[in-house]
Amino acid sequence: MLRIVIVLFLTLGSPTLAGTTAEQLVEQLAMQESRALKAMSGERLGFLLRRPEAKITYSRDWLKAQPGATGDADWRCLSEALYFEARGESVQGQFAVAEVILNRVDSDSFPGSICAVVKQGTGRKFACQFTFTCDGRAKVVNEPAAFQQAGKIARLMIDGAPREFTDGAMYFHTQNVRPSWARKFTRTATIGVHLFYRPPTQLSLN
């Protein structure tokens, strides 16, 4: 309403609008706004109407209160990676694994999409980047609540949630293994059973 009042104040004095009543001007402005909204893409309109997002709280209760998440193939790939690789970890631990995957997507050293990163090396002996893609087990979701949580985390991260936990890490492993490459890389975080690393000359991607 304030916008219309301001426009009226600025335009009623225009020679071309002399004799136009306030009601007629409001109707004209409403018609112009309606035409502009119809011409705008749905994506752009959604962006303009989107409410400011609340700060993320890294807890299961906060995630449980968020609406269900959906998405495209990349969202599904990230959700599955979080579920099969890290569903037993804390919320922070699952966000951290998501960071690694997205940091790889942003790097020229890895494929350029989430699905390609997750599936890199699948089918080649000792080449899988993520264990669940080559462990020979059927990829069946037996814990729907855990998958829903993974899906919400995936949605938040794809939509631009801050990468706060791993300082640009591109690698991680569990504490019960000692890969040779870990000695050459910079450890950036320890979260739950996972240790996170980035190559020694790499700057943080955050």
Q: Which long-range contacts (CB under 8 A, 24 or more apart) does 16-22 make?
A: none
User: Using one digit for the tens of pLDDT, what is the confidence trace for 72-124?
Assistant: 999 999 999 999 999 999 999 999 999 999 999 999 999 999 999 999 877 66
User: Using one digit for the tens of pLDDT, what is the confidence trace for 126-147?
Assistant: 567 788 878 667 788 999 999 9
Write down the domain spans for the chain.
Answer: 2-49, 60-198
Average pLDDT over residues 151-178: 95
Helix spans in the chain (H): 2-11, 22-39, 42-49, 60-65, 73-86, 91-106, 114-118, 144-158
Q: β-strands 171-174, 194-198: how paired?
A: antiparallel
Q: Any bridge partners for residue 186, and if so which?
A: 198
Residue 77's nearest CA partner among 118, 131, 120 is 118
